[in-house]
Amino acid sequence: MDKILEGLVSSSHPLPLKRVIVRKVVESAEHWLDEAQCEAMFDLTTRLILEGQDLFQRQVGHQVLEAYARYHRPEFESFFNKTFVLGLLQQGYHSLDRKDVAILDYIHNGLKLIMSCPSVLDLFSLLQVEVLRMVCERPEPQLCARLSDLLADFVQCIPKGKLSITFCQQLVRTIGHFQCVSTQEKELREYVSQVTKVSNLLQNIWKAEPSTLLPSLQEVFASISSTEIDASFEPSVALASLVQHIPLQMITVLIRSLTTDPNVKDASMTQALCRMIDWLSWPLAQHVDTWVIALLKGLAAVQKFTILIDVTLLKIELVFNRLWFPLVRPGALTVLSHMLLSFQHSPEAFHLIVPHVVNLVHSFKSDGLPSSTTFLVQLTELIHCMMYHYSGFPDLYEPILEAIKDFPKPSEEKIKLILSQSAWTSQSNSLASCLSRLSGKSETGKTGLINLGNTCYMNSVIQALFMATDFRRQVLSLNLNGCNSLMKKLQHLFAFLAHTQREAYAPRIFFEASRPPWFTPRSQQDCSEYLRFLLDRLHEEEKILKVQSSHKLSESLGCSETSLQEVANKAAVLTETPCTSDGEKTLIEKMFGGKLRTHIRCLNCRSTSQKVEAFTDLSLAFCPSSSMENLSFQDPASSPSTQDGSLMQASVPGLSKEPGVCNPSTAAFACYSAVNERMADSSDEFRCTEDTSVPNDSSKMLVNKDVPQKPGGETTSSVTDLLNYFLAPEILTGDNQYYCENCASLQNAEKTMQITEEPEYLILTLLRFSYDQKYHVRRKILDNVSLPLVLELPVKRTTSFSSLSESWSLDVDFTDISENLAKKLKPSGTEEACPPKLVPYLLSSVVVHSGVSSESGHYYSYARNITGTESSYQMCHQPETLALASSQSHLLGRDSPSAVTEQDLENKEMSKEWFLFNDSRVTFTSFQSVQKITSRFPKDTAYVLLYKKQNSTNGLSGNNSTTGLWVNGDPPLQKELMDAITKDNKLYLQEQELNARARALQAASASCSFRPNGFDDNDPPGSCGPTGGGGGGGFNTVGRLVF
The vertex-26 CA angle with 25 and 31, nearest 5°, equals 85
Give the single-character DSSP code of 227: -
CA 619 distance to own-chain centroid: 29
- CA gap 554, 568 in Å, rounded: 16
Residues facing 843 on adjacent strands: 947
| Strand positions, DSSP E, 458-593 | 504-505
- CA gap 145, 70 in Å, rounded: 28
**Dihedral, CA of residue 44, residue 45, residue 50 and residue 51, to nearest 10:** 50
User: Is the torsion defined by CA of 334, 336, 339, 341 positive or negative?
Assistant: negative
- CA gap 364, 368 in Å, rounded: 7
**Closest by alpha carbon to 68, among 43, 86, 51?**
43
- The residues near 290 (Cβ < 8 Å, ≥ 6 apart) are 248, 251, 434, 435, 1035
- Beta-carbon-side half-sphere exposure of residue 892 (alpha carbons within 13 Å): 26
Q: Residue 574: left (phi > 0), alpha (psi -120 to 50), or beta?
A: alpha
CA distances from 849 to 444, 767, 781 (A): 23, 12, 11
Residues facing 751 on adjacent strands: 600, 730
Catalytic site residues?
456, 858
- For residue 886, report the phi and psi dihedrals to the nearest 5 degrees: -65, -30
- For residue 485, report the phi and psi dihedrals to the nearest 5 degrees: -80, 170
CA distances from 411 to 398, 626, 829 (A): 19, 43, 58
- CA gap 823, 984 in Å, rounded: 57
Q: Are strands 940-949 and 761-766 parallel, antiparallel or unpaired?
A: antiparallel
Is residue 269 within 8 Å of residue 255, measured between CB atoms?
no
- CA gap 966, 710 in Å, rounded: 48
The amino acid that residue 586 corresponds to is T
User: Is the torsion defined by CA of 441, 443, 447, 451 positive or negative?
Assistant: negative
- CA gap 727, 620 in Å, rounded: 10
- CA gap 350, 379 in Å, rounded: 13
Is residue 718 within 8 Å of residue 636, measured between CB atoms?
no
CA distances from 859 to 33, 458, 770, 945 (A): 85, 9, 18, 13
**Closest by alpha carbon to 650, among 730, 592, 551?**
730
Angle at which helices 141-153 and 120-136 cross, to 10°: 150
- CA gap 737, 48 in Å, rounded: 107
Is residue 921 within 8 Å of residue 1027, measured between CB atoms?
yes
Helices (H), 390-526: 394-403, 412-422, 456-466, 469-477, 486-499, 508-514
- CA gap 330, 286 in Å, rounded: 11
Burial of residue 274 (CB within 10 Å: 0-12, 13-18, 19+) is middle
- Residue 96: count other Cβ atoms within 10 Å of its Cβ: 15
